[in-house]
Amino acid sequence: MSKLNTETLSQIKLDIRVPREITMNAACKKTNPMIMDGETRENIQAAREVCGGCPVSEKCGEWAIWHEPHGVWSGMTPRERKVMRKGQSLINIEDVQVLRQLIANLFSGKTVEALAEEYKVTDRTIYRWREQIKELNIA
């Protein structure tokens, strides 16, 4: 890894689990899950009606665009969320975990020289990675 992807780092700010605010306050929490699966036109329409009156619809949609490959979230189908991502992939949980470990390691107190040796990059790269992470306020 010689370059951190700023876009991917920005996504680390997002929780990989459904945020508690959504699970606690969503209009769909007592809805039949089959309606929210979005497998039929009828289910999609019914799910959109549920989502239409949801107090956390905006937050749900922001989260689902990057995390949910299935079902109707905030009234959006998987295909609609894919369009919203503009060709970018869903957040991969394993990638997020690797990046979190990298961030923890970069700010663990190890010397720049030791980190450069560990990642087989230059000292300058370690400094640049640290700055990128600081700019994103995720360390």
State how far the Cα of 27 lies from the Cα of 23, in Å rounded to an integer.
Answer: 9
pTM: 0.60
Residue 11 has pLDDT above 90, yes or no: no
pLDDT grade, residue 18 (50/70/90)? confident
Alpha helix locations (H) across the chain? 6-12, 20-25, 33-36, 41-52, 57-67, 78-84, 93-106, 112-119, 123-135
- Whether residue 51 has pLDDT greater than 50: yes
pLDDT tens-digit map of 106-118: 999 999 999 999 9
Q: Residue 120, CB half-sphere, CA atoms under 13 Å: how many?
A: 1
Percent residues over pLDDT 70 in the chain:
83
| Average pLDDT estimate for 12-21 | 66
With 90 as the cut, is the pLDDT of residue 44 above it? yes
Distance CA 27, CA 49 (A): 10
> Are the C-beta atoms of 65 and 86 separated by less than 8 Å?
no
Matching residue, tokens 């999609």: 44
For the segment 59-117, what is each residue's pLDDT rounded down to a tens digit? 999 989 988 889 999 999 999 999 999 888 887 667 777 778 888 999 999 999 999 99
Angle of helix 93-106 relative to helix 123-135, nearest 10 degrees, comes to 110
Give the model's pLDDT for residue 2. Answer: 42
